[in-house]
Homo-oligomer: A and B are copies of this chain.
């Protein structure tokens, strides 16, 4: 029953607050939530724990936010706050799109818990919209109009979240299990034993630094997407 409903904090008026200064504030709660999320992950965030961290009862939070999902929505949008997107007019659409993609990936890598939220809340907070608007304008500048503009934008974001979600998942699994990359690969090899091609595919990764491989992998695919987009412009 949680985590659904399209009601979004962003379209509801916030509770009016007095001048205050003492006691809890929504910003303060969101900041504390972010700290907890960054430090311990999504599953570690409970209203009780967050309340305790703020020296208050769990139920005190409910005056400032409607429920946990709304709190997560607020925290989630913060993630996109420090995504540097250059001005498309000066660097061109491809570089802008590329910077957007890299910034988005970094934002998720820096806040891995956000990966699990991607399918769960609408990304219509102010930070998210600002970044989206920049990408949007870059695509107009490229020459995409009408539907194609939507399609192009969603191809880029889809690629980013599609690469980054598994990347984050892999990292957090290996970390939680206390395994290094090499032993993780061993396990995958065991599971895939029946498929020589798949085994070979993990075997040639032996000795390679995972993060480096992921980074190159990301650029490779991004190049494909951008090349493909460019080609659609011609026709």
Interface residues of A (CB under 8 A from B): 1-8, 10-11, 43, 115-116, 118-120, 122, 124-125, 129-130, 132-133, 136-137, 140, 146-155, 157-163, 165-166, 168-170, 172-174, 176-177, 179, 184, 187-188, 190-192, 194-195, 197-198, 201, 204-205, 213, 216-217, 220-221, 223-229, 231-232
Across the interface, do A149 and B8 meet the contact criterion of CB distance under 8 Å? Answer: no
B residues within 8 A CB of A129?
Answer: 191-192, 194-195, 198
Task: Specify which of B116, B122, B157, B168 is in contact with A188 (CB 8 Å cutoff).
Answer: B122
Q: Which one, B4, B154, B184, contacts A221 given CB within 8 A?
A: B154
Partner of A173 from the list B5, B118, B205, B216 (CB cut-off 8 Å) is: B5
Label chain A's interface by main secondary structure. helix
Question: Which 4 pairs, one residue from A and one from B, show the smallest C-beta to C-beta distance?
Answer: A162-B162, A224-B228, A158-B162, A155-B221
